Amino acid sequence: MAKVSFAPHESLLADVSPHRRSVLFPVLEFIVITGLVWLGIGLIDAYFDKVAVAHFGVAYTPPSLVAKLLPHDQTLMVLTWLRRLLLIAWAWLAWTRCIRHLIFRSRTRMVLTDRRLITASGHVRSEICEVPLEHIVDARHRGSDVAVYTIGARLPLVLHNVPQAKKFARLLRKQIRPL
């Protein structure tokens, strides 16, 4: 959190990052996406091998070579482009659904000091939110989420995947000064 500076007498009460188990579903999703896409690519490659063995007696390593050797077969050309499309789809799905979440999760942080609550979103241009403790009305936890209610806001600031959410909410409530 290089963008945040602390006052000389500001004491740090809690500095937490999301649970490690918050990566469970992105990892499982990555495994499923990889399995399904590469199953399709394997089926396409098996067809290329079958055609190559039938015509030449040997299977060629890059499947696109079979399509170049048999230019009259339009099915091979379509399957070559479908294979390339599946590779691009796999890379795009892996990034948008899984890998990006895993990278940015490690940069997400919640810092509680004796004067303010600081949250960092962890994205490429990390959004840092600083809420003075004087503006916080209440803090409640539900599961691993902590809802922070502030003065003048219609909706609470929700912190997701907070480790020991009950303890963090209790510590935050203890720091809130009654009006």
Q: Give CA torsion, residues 63, 66, 71, 75, to 10 deg.
A: -60
pLDDT of amino acid 107: 76
**pLDDT tens digits along 99-118:** 888 888 777 888 899 889 98
User: Rg of the Cα trace of the chain?
Assistant: 26
End-to-end CA distance of the chain: 31
pLDDT of amino acid 171: 92
Q: pLDDT band at 1, cuts 50/70/90? A: very low
pLDDT of amino acid 162: 87
What average pLDDT score do residues 13-32 get? 87
Q: ∠ CA 47-53-55 to the nearest 5 degrees?
A: 100
3-state SS class at 118: strand
Mean pLDDT (the chain, rounded): 87
Domain ranges (residues) in the chain: 23-105, 109-175
**pLDDT tens digits along 124-134:** 677 888 899 99
Minimum mean pLDDT range among 28-32, 33-37, 131-135: 131-135
DSSP of 73-102: -HHHHHHHHHHHHHHHHHHHHIIIIIIHHH
Residue 58 pLDDT greater than 90, yes or no:
no
